[in-house]
């Protein structure tokens, strides 16, 4: 099954993306700039430290965002959860269980 994200322009002309949820639930619509920042952070973190727990990934994403975009406003953790779920729905990352712990990693095809 292929899921397709939608790029949308809001009334002010800002480009947004409709995120997907891996279980098909409702997901938020966020700005494309925020999506690119957080998704780049997640992918780079997982390339360097794979596999890793969500708590570790969120800490590394926070460090990446505050370093690369110090003016970012909003909850980095909230955006990390939402974008992580979207990347799972797109097949870019996956959640696996290792030694009884949920761990996140890039998929073999990513």
Distance of CA 86 to the CA centre of its chain: 6
pTM for this entry: 0.86
The average pLDDT across 90-105 equals 94
Residue 38 confidence (pLDDT): 97
Identify the band that residue 11 occupies on the pLDDT scale cut at 50, 70 and 90: low
- Architecture category of domain 32-106 in CATH: Orthogonal Bundle (1.10)
Quick one: DSSP state of residue 91? T
Checking phi first, is residue 43 left (phi over 0); if not, alpha (psi -120 to 50) or beta? alpha
Q: 89 or 50, which is more confident?
A: 89
Report the C-alpha gap between 81 and 55 in whole angstroms.
10
The per-residue pLDDT for range 27-64, each reduced to its tens digit, is 999 999 999 999 999 999 999 987 999 999 999 999 99
Tokens of 34: 């925020």
Q: Which residues contact 97 (CB under 8 A, 6 or more apart)?
A: 103
Report the C-alpha gap between 47 and 12 in whole angstroms.
36
Domain boundaries, the chain: 32-106
């Amino acid at each position: 099954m292929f899921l397709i994200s939608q790029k949308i322009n809001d009334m002010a002309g800002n480009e947004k993306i409709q995120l997907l949820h891996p279980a098909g639930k409702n997901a938020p619509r966020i700005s494309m700039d925020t999506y690119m920042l957080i998704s780049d952070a997640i992918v780079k973190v997982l390339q360097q430290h794979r596999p890793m727990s969500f708590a570790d990934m969120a800490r590394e994403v926070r460090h990446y965002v505050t370093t690369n975009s110090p003016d970012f406003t909003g909850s980095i953790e909230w955006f990390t959860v939402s974008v992580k779920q979207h990347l799972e729905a797109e097949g870019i990352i996956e959640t696996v269980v290792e030694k009884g712990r949920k761990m996140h990693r890039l998929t073999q095809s990513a």
